[in-house]
Amino acid sequence: MIKKRKKGLLIGADGQLGTDLRKTFKDYTILDPLISELDITKFKKVKEYIKRNSPDLIINTAAFHQIDECEKNPQKSFLVNTLAVKNLAEICQELNIPLVHISTDYVFGLDEKRKAPYIEEDLPGPVNIYGLSKLAGEYFVQATLKKYFIIRPAALFGFAGPKGKKENFVEAMLRLAKKQGELKVKNDEFTSPTYTKELAEAIVGLIATEEYGTYHITSQGECSWYEFAKKIFELTQVKVNLKPVSSDKFPTFAKRPKYSVLENRHLKEMKMDKMSRWQDALKKYLEEKGLI
């Protein structure tokens, strides 16, 4: 007897992570509607779509993640990142569908003296509307479902580039270097730059375990945005006058975390943490893009 392939609904399939997830899923037939077909803020239509297509799994990568715009428009931020997620969770509960929800390292950052990576059990503390709205979305998933994966990545870069933004950090640095010749980059905000191709592989592997819960999945190690930029130029052999500066030299509308580095504690406990060092992941990405 031929085994029927499972069906997965991938929301945000044309985004940076969504593009790599779509390529990585092998055991699922993937539904990948565009936002014109499935807008998660249209609650009734989302339910109708899900009931009509009967997926065995839902993966939500959709988010309003333009940090300053979230601060200026909290209504939209909470609509997309919180209320739409609550609606998805309620539909999944009613229809007994597991939900994979992509969150963010920005649920942390309130402790400005922090120097140790956050583990999944650490108490969140966002510093901006984006982080707060994403955290509220997490809480609705946890309160509504038993079959869920909440994934917290950080500082994503991938072949497709981010949906809703012009470019990822790597692309921005290379563009600005060609245009300006001198760049100033913050050296007092720390993260773990993460390659979406590796992240997608880790997520797909995790789903197969059915070990539901909250997971940090980022590249190994940490760096400041200045150190990240320095490595980009080193690997691509782009000559630029790069200067480290403090974040107070770059005032932004929304505050950013000083430190939001994550440890993949739960993945490590499961012997499933295959994420590369961020420097190696960056090299793989630049090779994929044909930039080195």
Angle (CA) 55-61-66 rounded to 5° is 155
Q: Tokens 């949906």, residue? A: 163
Number of neighbours of residue 113 by Cβ within 10 angstroms: 6
Question: What is d(CA 288, CA 292) in angstroms, rounded to the nearest whole number?
Answer: 9
Three-state secondary-structure class, residue 262: strand
CA-CA distance, 20 to 162, in Å (whole number)? 12
Nearest C-alpha neighbor of 84 from the set 126, 128, 52, 39: 39
Return the beta strands (E) in 187-231 as ranges: 190-191, 194-195, 213-216, 223-224
Cα–Cα distance, 172 to 104 (Å, whole number): 21
Place of tokens 């609606």: 87
CB 282 within 8 A of CB 170: yes
Measured CA to CA, the distance from residue 219 to residue 255 in angstroms comes to 24
Whether 259 sits among the annotated catalytic residues: the reply is no
User: CA torsion, points 267, 270, 271, 276, in degrees to nearest 10?
Assistant: -10
Q: Annotated catalytic residue: which of 28, 49, 106, 130? A: 130
Q: Residue 26 contacts by C-beta under 8 Å, 6 or more apart in sequence? A: 204
Q: Which residues are catalytic?
A: 130
